[in-house]
Structure formats: C-alpha cells, structure tokens
Structure 1
C-alpha cells in the first residue's frame, strides 16, 4: 500500500502562508504487527473501542461513542445536539423502514458548507486578499434530488453554486439553482445543444460559465453566441504539468482526459480575439485529481495555475475567476497522513494555501486577484451519509480441543496432535510450519486413498486447532515473522451482511477505497472475533476484506460474537448492526444492480428542538422495480407462474394448497424490498 507521512497542522503562531513545516515520520512495515488481545483482567471500555475503530480520527466532530456503547451522531458538529444512532435505527425499523438503510443527516451537509466557507473567509482576512470566494458543488458527487435541494438551500447565504459535468446535470442545475449571483460551472463534453442551453440560462438570471475543455468547443461557442446574440462567460481548463497523486493522479498532465494544453489555450485566445469575444474569457480552471492526500501537490498546482492566470490577463482576457477544481481530501482512516485514504492537511491549511499562493503571484505580476472558486464535492458530501446494515450469520473455523488419538490412528494425525500439544511461545513459528506440512500430507494421502473422509476431517480440525493456538500466542507478541502475517486473515470469521457491495460501496470493490466500518452498538464490550464481510451477492468479489488502521491497512475487522435471541430457536440471533461511514460521495450513483439488488431505503434526518425529525423517506427498490429495469413485466411473470402451476396441478405434481402458497409468495415478493428482511 504506500507509506504514510505525517504533517503537523497549522497553529495560530504559524508564520506567513506556508503550511507548517512537515514533521515527517514514515511508517516502516517491519515484521507485520498483529493486534494484541486484551488481557482478561482489564475490562473493555468505550475508550478502547474509540482507539480500535479510530472514530476520533475520522469521525470528529460528527461521530463518537456514548456511555451506553452506542455510536452517536452530532449533525451540527461542535455546535451541540446529538443522536444515538442505534436508537435511531430501531425507531426507523418500527416505522417499517428496513435495513440496509442509508441515513442522510442534512445538518452535517449544512455544517460542511459553512466550514468550507468559513475557512476561506478566515484565509481571505488573514492575508488581506482583495477578492472573494464562491464555491460550487459538483453535481456528479451525488445527484439525489433531496440532497441537491438541501445543498442549494444551505448554500444561499454563501452564494454557493453548482457544477455540471454533463447535459443531464446541467438540466438539474438550471431547474434547482435559484441563488442570485451563484455560479453555474459548465464542465464536461459539450455539443451545440448543451452550449446553447447554458448561454440562454443567462436570460433566466443564472451565471453560467462555459468551461472550454476540448479545442473544438471554441468554434461551437463562437457560432452559438452569434446565433443567439448572447455574450457568454467563458472559462478554459488547463492541463497542468503539476503531477497529481494517488488513484486520480492522471487527471492532470499532458495526457489528461480533459483540458487544453498551453498551445491550445493560446490558439483559443487568438480565435476569441479574432471573433471579438476575448472579453468573454473570464475563468481559468484546473483539476489535479480527487482525494489529494498531500498538500504539496495542491500547492504546486496552484502556483502553476496562478502563473497561467496572470499570463492570460496580460494577453487581454477579461480574467475574473480562478477555479481550483476538486481534490480537497477526506481523512477516511483518521491518520492525518499522506496515505491515499487520508490527508496531511486540514481544510484551513487548504484554504490558506489557495488564497496565499494566488495573492502572492498576482501581486508580484501586478494583476488584480481573482474570485476564487473550488469544486470540493467529496469534502462536502462524504460525511452526511451513513449506511447501516445488519449481520445475517457467520462462518467460523472449527477450533475445538481435539481428543487424544487412538492406537490405530494414522501417523499423520498423531503427528498433528503431537504438534498441537507441544506449541509454546518458544516454538510457535516452527510448529506452524510442521502443522502445515502434516496437513498437506493428509490431503495428499486422502487423494491416494490412504485416508478415509473421517480421517481427513480429523486432520483438518487438528490443523485449525494448531493455527488457533499459534495465533493466540502471536497476538501477544510485539512483532511476528513475515510467514505468519496472513494467519489472522486465514483464521478470520466470515460475517454475512445484508448488503450489496456493488450497489452501496462500489468504490470498495472497484478501486479498493477504504471506508470506516464499525458496529454501532455493544462498544462497551470487547470484540473478540476477527472477521471479513461477505455480502448477499453470489459473486466472490462481493466482500470487504480491507479495513482502516493506523498502520497501513488491516485485513480483518474486530467484531462481537452474535448472541442468541432469548426464547427463540437456536438459528435466531439478536440483531447486530454495522455501519459504513463517509460514503456520501459517488457511491449512490455509481452503484449497480448486480444480482438485482436495488437502491437501499434512505431517510433524511434533521435535528429539532425535540430531538429529530424525518424530513424524507425514500423507499428502496422493490423487486418489481428492479425487474422492470431489465425489461420484465411483473404481471407477465405472475401469469407465467400461474399457468405452470395449473399444468402441474393437472399432472398431480403439486397440490392446490401448495400452488396457492407458491403464487402468494411470488406475488408478495414482487412488491417487497430486494434485500432480506
């Protein structure tokens, strides 16, 4: 995975605008460290859970743990008011809103907008910046109607606008954005209709800025302006030489997907000059990638972009805006490092560097400073959404205490038993190699017919018992040898969860994105099981086996054993709820219908003087709806089953009662949630 580097956050005594000098300390991956088991003499506390799940690192100021061992949500951050997430989920279930359940906290969305604007306001005041800040939200991060409507409403005091990256998103923005003076940044591929629609939006009072991302768009803009007699506001997206970082590092550079090279920008300027439209060019845009983990990358890009901005101004363009794009990261693992799932800077550091870098270069070149624009979608939308899901069951490795072998027991099994009995702190590594060798011998002997199926089962149970004993010793060591570093994962339980990774966390599957995952209750108890998560899909990739950790990434998640429900059958256990946090950007719209698991239930929660209010309930897809997406008609399906049932009745293959039960279950299922109840 890459190493992390830490950096101290800015203090009030920091000089000038530079990000505080880095206190670099790389995390070396010397022999793999396995989590220590808590001594039985030390009772587990919520502080232990806070440290284990790193909730203070990634969750502040919105998420914490209360004295009851439940996750709490403070939607307004440090301004007061909190909810017990476990109690909220139970209350929603009583309202017939089942799991999996996406909970959106509108107050968190409002708080993120206010924090971003406050950081830029503070930086502008600190550096006596003569310009202003006007943020926009990129609609592509989360296009859900209620969220966009909330965002526009919360953004009005700040003249917060929207960014559209496609024609459908432009249509959303035009119909939703009603804030006077708010910017509408028009990015993405554009045809004549897109450009004409954006230009005509000026007649409605919008402030659309058409960003030229392909050289061919220059001619389309000139033709549309002459045809409509509308002078547009234009921007140009530059391909910077500054290098991006991480998964989206190729968003910048000469071969980036979008943007114009420096020669193309100069050609565009000349074309606009010849068309007497150079005055329309007012914005410079750049983007160095999403989730930038290192502040140095951002500083390099801003420095280069600022130089391009002043040069365009010198060439006669009516430059007014500098759009620094996205990239403001989210600290998914709470480590505050340059690890790809973290960031080594704060939101205030980011604003300071943007403001100060632009001011310095503009002052040096004697060019008026621009209005600053950013498209920080991930940093605004990620925190407001929490996905809660329940555990359906587990699969555990059998590690019982093996009985002593009998005289006629095959030698390989006796050797395994002797290995098990002799495992100590001094020889646990050697014992692991011996146990592995004996297990492989047993499998080979079974293949040649020298061991019975019962003997092979005994050998495998002995092997897993050896591994369990060895792992118990390894957890007590500060470091263990490299050849044992996978033992924790090998011995992990599998927790089956009521969820589709492909629908609700596609980035976890597609690009190994890390999201914080933890139980939302029982956090005053020690989680004694190590587990990976398996979803409902019949796909081997439908699993989560990478979890946040201070040191790189861990392959198992510490969870509690399931408890049997009182006065019920042995197969029934008490509900056990897990939650995935910081997944409010991109996941919903990028989810797919693998195995026809559809959208989850979603609710919008807002704090109120009496606790909270449910603003919206958006029911998840029913089976009829997802079948309709793939061109099946539910009435036709029911009729086909009815005909087959009648045929089976005539052939005496099914009773009338059975056929009616089948039809009832079939029809009932079509109207129900695609997930398990």
Structure 2
C-alpha cells in the first residue's frame, strides 16, 4: 500500500523540486542537511539561507533584461530592495552585493543608509527611494542625507504638505517622486489606498506645487497596489490608469523620466506554486512600451521595489513535535516546541500559509493533524496547508521524534514578532542561524543570535531595575549602620 508520507507527496506534487530533495531519508533545503542542522544547533530554530537572496535578485534582473531586449526598450532597469521586509545587516549586505538600490519607509531607515555608506556598501549613486508618510524626524533625516550630497535620495511624496516641509529642510535643489493612491480591489474594505495622491489630483498637484518650484524636480511616478503583481484584469487596469497619468505628466514635465511599478511579486507558498514571472515582466514592459508609443512620449526608466520576493525565500523555521493530544474522535493536535504567534506571526495575523514539510520520517505512514503552539492563546495554531486544506504528517510516535520545517518565512516575521523583545506568554525567541556559501560553493553556518534567556525578558519587563533598587537600598542601609 502507498501509505507512506513520501507516497503522499509523490502523488500530489512534482518532487523533488529545485530547493527540496530527500537524501538519506531526510529533507534537504538548497543542499542544506536540515537534520544535521537540528543535531548541531537544536530546536526550535530559525535560519537564513543567504545565497537565495542573490539568486532571486539575479533572476529578476535577467527577466527584465530579456524583456528589454525583446521589446527594444530604451530605458534602464533598477532593482530596489524594500528594507522593511527585513532590516538585518546580513540581509542588506547580501542584497547590496548585487548592485541594487533600496527603498526606505521611516526615519530610522535613513540611519541604516548612513551606516551602510560609511561601510562602503552604498554610494551617492545608489538610489534611496524614501516612501511612507513623513513625520518631522523622517523629513529631517532625508534632508540631512541630501544635504550631505546624496542626490539620488528621492523622497516619494505621500501627501500635499511634504513638498513644503522638504523645501524648508533641504538646502539646494532636490528630486522627488509622487506616489499614486491606487484604487483597491473590489473585495477590499475601502476603495482607495491611504498612501499617495489620487489619480485625478496628481497633474493639478504637480502644476500647483512643483512645476514653478525652482528647488524641486519631479523625477518619478510611483505605482503600487496592495495585491501585488498578478495576471488579472484588476492589475492590468490599474497599470493602464497609471500609465495614462505618467504620459500626461511627461508631456508637461521634462524632468520626469522614471516609473516605479512597486513590488508584490509572489513567493512560493506551496509545492504546487506556479507563477510565470518571466511572462509577467515581459508583458509589463510591453504594455509600458505600447502606451508610451501611442502617446508619443519617451519610455521611462523602470524601478521595482521587491521586498518579500528578495528575502522571503531565504528564511525557514524548524520545530519539534513535543506531544500529541486527541481532543475528540476527529481532531489530533500535534504540539510544537514553540509558538506560531511569536515566531510566525503572519500565520496568526493574516492567515498566511508557508510551505510546511517534515524534516525526517518520510518513509513512515501519515495522519491528518492540527498544529498547536505553546502559548495559552486559542489562536496559536496552524491548521491547513494552502494546497490541500489539511495538514498531513508522519504519524506521531513518542519514541520516534518528528521535526517539521516551515519554509520561505524570511520576510517580515522577525520585525512583526519583535525580534529580541517581549513575546506572547514569554515564549523565547528561537536561536537564529545564518547559512552562507564560500567561493568554492561550500556551505558554512554561524549563530546570529542565541535563544532568548529569562534574564533578557525580565530586564525588558523592568524586574532587574527592581533588583538594582533593592540592592542599592541595602547598601545604603548597611552604610547607615
């Protein structure tokens, strides 16, 4: 009978896949022996496979290069990384090694930019696209960067006051972009994005605040929709509306030469994932070419801002099944030795699904289960896979430990979960491992962060302060006597 877990996978998907294969009956991820990782470092465990960041950047660059060549596109392509997806130094170092640019979203991002400049990771030629609603400190930091000579720092205007605020803070001339407040998909709770300026208001805004302002040059129009890049009528309709605004602006604004089509490339969330990236890039480039030709304007340089696509597929998390609880005749709960709410918060907050596979015991028979976390919160669970609406794992056996991995978790989870901070029910942050390749292609691992200890959490909660006060009081008391 074909009742082994490996049989289930073989019957359901094409397997092995580029990043997943079995060796010695255990799962390997990009040639990384995950059971050895478990044996060396223990679980729960998070890891970042840094080479995948460069792999995805180079894939995207090739798709655009091929499309530019095919359609004889006259503009340039610039790949930007959205730092908000993961601000970690090791992520930025790997991404920037591929000759890319970055997008920022808050004041402290600019401090990271300055640190990267001092380290020689970026230069004044690197584009720094500053998005987001800009409060005083963000405005001040952007102005400092531009005043220090970083002319390719381009603040993307989000509201009607930002031009005046930037003009006051910046000493000389500077370039800006304008973000379009795109219309959301019909199923959304609201009609128009809170970010940017509405389609109909952009040309009047340019005429009123930028056209006659000798300090400001409009360089870029920024387009982004919340659902990301998808091959559906909604995406193509919004892109065409954006292109109509771009061509109308270009006719009255010679300095406008760039179109930022945002980001939103999906990442693999299932073994059944199927998305034709090359086709989408080809068609986007083709549509921009056609509309600009129809309107008689030069094609823009194209910028993209890929965050999750850049870093998402580099991340993973490994847990151990501690125990199985059968709460009724139909539901079996496999309890992991960590928490989904704290380590994979998107599974709880937006019901996001990641690729989930066992690390070992693929030749054992399987069963349908639910996965539960350690917190006392009823929402700390993971109950369905994107492709089958159920979780199947090798049968629980207390004498045969089972380890499971969640993959492509590299974007947002640490920042949303509050890396190094307090966690729900004081569940500690897992140990974090970095994986890199040397010049010969050999894998090397190093510990980026150890698992949180109780002293870290007690300190954050103020208990060490109480101990310090108590100790000082005792010292004073002893001095008096």
Match of 1:613 among 427, 444, 465: 444
Structure 1 window deviating more from structure 2 (126-135 vs 200-209): it is 200-209
Structure 1 window deviating more from structure 2 (627-636 vs 514-523): it is 627-636
Tell me whether 1:61 sits opposite 2:23 in the alignment. Answer: no
**Residue matched to 1:416:** none
Maintained 8 Å contact 2:364/2:395 = no
Q: 1:612 to 1:211 in 2, by over 3 A?
A: same
Tell me whether 1:357 sits opposite 2:324 in the alignment. Answer: no
Tell me whether 1:371 sits opposite 2:331 in the alignment. Answer: no
Alignment of 1:179-218 (within 5 A): 179-180=122-123, 181-202=125-146, 203-205=148-150, 207-218=152-163
> How many Å separate the matches in 1 of 2:348 and 2:283?
34
**Residue matched to 1:487:** none
**Residue matched to 2:320:** 390
Tell me whether 1:512 sits opposite 2:351 in the alignment. Answer: yes
Maintained 8 Å contact 2:151/2:174 = no
Maintained 8 Å contact 2:271/2:355 = no
> How many Å separate the matches in 2 of 1:65 and 1:99?
20
Q: Secondary structure at the match of 1:374?
A: strand
> How many Å separate the matches in 2 of 1:328 and 1:170?
25
**Residue matched to 2:185:** 244
Instruction: State the shift of 1:495 in Å.
Output: 0.6
Q: 1:382 to 1:290 in 2, by over 3 A?
A: farther
Once the two structures are superposed, what CA deviation does each residue of 1:478-527 show, in whole Å capped at 9, x if it has no partner?
xxxxxxxxxxxxx1211110111111111111111111212111112221
> How many Å separate the matches in 1 of 2:407 and 2:362?
16
Aligned-pair Cα RMSD in Å = 2.7
**Residue matched to 1:89:** 38
Instruction: State the shift of 1:250 in Å.
Output: 6.5
Instruction: State the shift of 1:317 in Å.
Output: 4.6
> How many Å separate the matches in 1 of 2:143 and 2:317?
39
> How many Å separate the matches in 2 of 1:236 and 1:291?
19
In structure 1, runs of 5+ residues without a counterpart are 1-40, 75-81, 337-343, 399-463, 465-490, 565-572, 644-677
Maintained 8 Å contact 1:244/1:250 = no
Once the two structures are superposed, what CA deviation does each residue of 1:517-558 show, in whole Å capped at 9, x if it has no partner?
12111112221x2111111101111111122225xxx1x311
**Residue matched to 1:484:** none
In structure 2, runs of 5+ residues without a counterpart are 475-481
**Residue matched to 2:479:** none
Match of 1:560 among 380, 389, 394: 394
Tell me whether 1:260 sits opposite 2:217 in the alignment. Answer: no
Q: 1:207 to 1:395 in 2, by over 3 A?
A: same
> How many Å separate the matches in 2 of 1:173 and 1:495?
44
Match of 1:322 among 259, 264, 272: 259
Alignment of 1:274-673 (within 5 A): 274-277=212-215, 280-336=217-273, 345-396=275-326, 464=329, 491-527=330-366, 529-550=367-388, 554=389, 556-564=390-398, 573-591=399-417, 593-608=423-438, 609=440, 611-633=442-464, 636=467
Q: 1:495 to 1:599 in 2, by over 3 A?
A: same
Q: 1:191 to 1:562 in 2, by over 3 A?
A: closer
> How many Å separate the matches in 1 of 2:447 and 2:145?
30
Q: 1:204 to 1:235 in 2, by over 3 A?
A: same
Maintained 8 Å contact 2:52/2:313 = yes
> How many Å separate the matches in 2 of 1:602 and 1:312?
48
Q: Secondary structure at the match of 1:134?
A: strand
Q: 1:618 to 1:356 in 2, by over 3 A?
A: same
Alignment of 1:82-231 (within 5 A): 82-90=31-39, 92-93=40-41, 98-153=42-97, 155-156=98-99, 160-176=100-116, 178-180=121-123, 181-202=125-146, 203-205=148-150, 207-225=152-170, 228=171, 230-231=172-173
Instruction: State the shift of 1:385 in Å.
Output: 0.4
> How many Å separate the matches in 2 of 1:396 and 1:605?
37
Maintained 8 Å contact 1:55/1:63 = no
Maintained 8 Å contact 1:245/1:289 = no
> How many Å separate the matches in 2 of 1:494 and 1:329?
30
Maintained 8 Å contact 2:116/2:122 = no
> If each structure's strand is expressed as a fraction of its own residues, which one has the higher value?
2
> How many Å separate the matches in 2 of 1:99 and 1:269?
55
**Residue matched to 1:272:** 210
TM-score normalised by length of structure 2? 0.88
Q: 1:513 to 1:276 in 2, by over 3 A?
A: same
Larger radius of gyration: 1
Instruction: State the shift of 1:45 in Å.
Output: 7.0
Q: Secondary structure at the match of 2:78?
A: coil
Instruction: State the shift of 1:266 in Å.
Output: 2.8
Q: 1:603 to 1:55 in 2, by over 3 A?
A: farther
Structure 1 window deviating more from structure 2 (280-289 vs 308-317): it is 308-317
> How many Å separate the matches in 2 of 1:627 and 1:597?
12
TM-score normalised by length of structure 1? 0.64
Instruction: State the shift of 1:133 in Å.
Output: 0.9
> How many Å separate the matches in 1 of 2:186 and 2:450?
38
> If each structure's helix is expressed as a fraction of its own residues, which one has the higher value?
1
Maintained 8 Å contact 1:597/1:626 = no
